[in-house]
Amino acid sequence: MPLLQAPSVHASRSFAPVPAPIDSFDAMMREATDKARTLAALATNPAQAAVAKAATRFATELEVAAAAALAISQGADDISIAIESPRGNIGRCGGVLTNLCDALYGLYQSAKVPVLFFSVGIIVYNLLEGWAPGDTVYYLIVTSTTVGYGDIFPKSPLGKLFTCVYAVLGITVVLGTLAPLVAILQGEWREKLLECICGKGVDTRDMSLSMDEINARMKAEGGYGRRYALALLSPLAVLLSGMALHWQYIREPPDFTAGEDPVMMWLGELAVSFLGHHSGVAHWLKNLELDVVGFIDSFYWTVITMTTIGYGDICPRSGMAKMLAVIYLPMAVIALADAISDVGMIGRRRSIRETDFGMRVDECLLRDAVRDGECNVHPKLSEAEFLTDQLIANKLVDEEAVLVLKRQFKYLTRRGTFESDEDRQLNAQLVYEELAGRVAEGKVLSDGASEHDLTPEGNFKWKSFEAWFERSWKVRVVKAARGDLSLAQPGRQEIELKTALGAASRGR
């Protein structure tokens, strides 16, 4: 299907009545989409699920195209719908440009706060302490990662006072912007490397396997040992990188011309005691120019750095060493912390997998029977309630946070009519009512809603739920299914766009 770009259409133009083929095509596409979704729900293995997913995506795109053609034929206003086909060259180019723009914008969003943090630090510490920009960046990284070598520190009273505030801010800013680094450390390269060494492991996400089968295969194939090795691959790689950094740029090479190395002499004497005085190995060890102490120092410095102990007895001195340390320190701290978290999570998942919930089935339902102080002899424990209870019991989520989220969901569905809180469901009708209500109250909408549902003046453009559903909601669903629409996490992103009424109220 080629790129369908419907131009803006005004009501003043005359249109012929809706042709029967377009109307019937729209209905046929709706039926195809419903069948594809049914296939996806009935899929029993990954292959069937993949085929059903592709069919659903293709049928949904055709449905939106039919809806667009139907809307144009009916003389709709402000139609701007672009549907790209996987085979369309123009669609592919548009998708590449969109992804590139999204990536650049995401990079800007991630980098603007750290750049401001380091820029202010460079200016202030240059004025107060006279530090060069490179030394300031190195100092801020050492401070923000809590390594704290102590080789550079403020001496003036104002510098110390500024550091008291800026150090706390730096921990938040620097460690809070390392999500891309964490993604790299947790990337697929670990699994692929482990597959090359040990072969493919147990797929615990295969829903066709029972819990007993998964546990048996994990024990037989050493699945948990594989997972622990996977968790430790990243810190091991970072450890070796740190040792190479110290060996090449921080270590002070020994002067072998000054005399024999005491460590090598000790190894030679040890070889003599086992192999005898006439052993060539003992003589070779005594005369071998190998910096064993430097190797030990490299391992020592890397471990002390990764654990953020930072004694300061060994630290970067040259400009190149400091520059490389600026890159290495955040990676070292994050790698070890992430590995410790992964190891703990592996143990927790194993405990959950091996728990005999059948033995505790009565306790699970009894907990629901007395929920919120009630005494219900006919309780019904839903999957969502079971998941919530177990997440809290295994300390994977905070109980207070769960209560807050429940209240938030109750607020989202406040416009609907439900017999009980368990029956609450958020649907497209409630979303439409919420968007229209927020615009009327002058409140902020999401980036996507602002783009698709607001006029340039900031007014809500849709007059009915049906129009919004056909010409806005369906388009956004297709874009999200293709991966062309980035969905922000609630509470993680501050939305800048404002409605016209909101701007007017702030102006007053």
Could you report the per-residue pLDDT of 9-44, keeping only the tens digit for each? 333 333 344 444 555 655 666 666 666 666 655 555
- List pLDDT tens digits, range 49-82: 666 666 666 666 666 666 666 555 555 544 444 4
Residues 6 or more apart whose CB falls under 8 angstroms from that of 323 comprise 134, 138
pLDDT at 62: 62
Q: What is the DSSP string of 401-413?
A: HHHHHHHHHHHHT
Residue 276 lies in a domain: yes
pLDDT band at 153 (very low <50, low <70, confident <90, very high): very high
Predicted pLDDT of residue 218: 77
Of 252-256, 338-342, 390-394, 500-504, the range with the lowest mean pLDDT is 500-504
pLDDT at 437: 92
Please give the pLDDT value at position 55. 65
pLDDT at 217: 77
- Residue 10's domain comprises 4-87
Q: Which amino acid is at 142?
A: V
| Mean pLDDT computed over 331-352 | 88
Report yes or no on 315 lying in a domain.
Answer: no
The residue-averaged pLDDT of 219-233 equals 80
SS3 10: coil
Split into its structural domains, the chain has a count of 3
440-466: per-residue pLDDT in tens? 999 989 888 888 899 988 999 999 999
Query: Given this model, what pLDDT does residue 148 score?
Result: 93
Residue 390 in any domain: the answer is no
Q: Is 367 within a domain?
A: no
In this prediction, residue 374 has a pLDDT band, given cuts at 50, 70 and 90, of: confident
Q: Please give the backbone phi and psi of residue 460, each rounded to the nearest 5 degrees, phi first.
A: -75, 125
Segment among 96-105, 149-158, 344-353, 364-373 with least mean pLDDT: 96-105
What average pLDDT does the structure give for the chain?
A: 76
* pLDDT at res. 10: 37
User: Within a domain: residue 361?
Assistant: no
Minimum mean pLDDT range among 65-74, 192-201, 396-405, 426-435: 65-74
* 117 has a pLDDT exceeding 70: yes
Q: Over 80: is that where the pLDDT of 431 sits?
A: yes
Q: Which of 399-413, 420-434, 483-497 has the lowest mean pLDDT?
A: 483-497
CA 364 from chain centre, in angstroms, equals 32
In this structure, what token pair is assigned to residue 373? 């102080």
Which is higher by pLDDT, 249 or 262? 249
437 in a domain, yes or no?
yes
* Predicted TM-score of the model (pTM): 0.61
Could you tell me what percent of the chain has a pLDDT over 90?
Answer: 27
Domain end: 262, 289, 316, which one? 289
- What element of type H or E holds 470? none
The predicted pLDDT at position 92 comes to 44
- Highest mean pLDDT: which range of 161-165, 188-192, 446-450: 161-165
161-167 CB contacts, 8 Å cutoff, 24+ apart: 162/124, 162/125, 162/128, 166/121, 166/124, 166/140, 167/143
Domain final residue pick, 289, 312, 337: 289
Q: Is residue 213 part of a domain?
A: no
Q: Which two tokens stand for residue 482?
A: 């293709």
475 vs 12: which has the higher pLDDT: 475
Within 10 Å of residue 122's Cβ, how many Cβ atoms?
A: 18
In the predicted structure, residue 145 carries a pLDDT above the cut 70: yes
Closest CA to 457 of 503, 507, 505: 503
> Does residue 500 lie within any of the structural domains?
yes
More confident residue, 325 or 50: 325
pLDDT of 486 > 70? The answer is no
Q: Which of 70, 87, 104 is the last residue of a domain?
A: 87
* Percent of the chain's residues with pLDDT above 70: 67
* pLDDT of 138 strictly over 90: yes
| Nearest-angstrom CA–CA distance, 147 and 125 | 19
Least confident of 57-66, 166-175, 220-229, 315-324: 57-66
Cα Rg, the chain, nearest whole Å: 31
pLDDT of residue 71: 58
Task: Output the CA–CA distances (angstroms, integers) from residue 329 to 196, 246, 306, 372, in the order listed.
Answer: 29, 12, 8, 48
Question: Would the pLDDT of 291 be above 50?
Answer: yes
Lowest mean pLDDT among 127-141, 231-245, 247-261: 247-261
* Rounded Cα gap, residues 186 and 183, in angstroms: 5
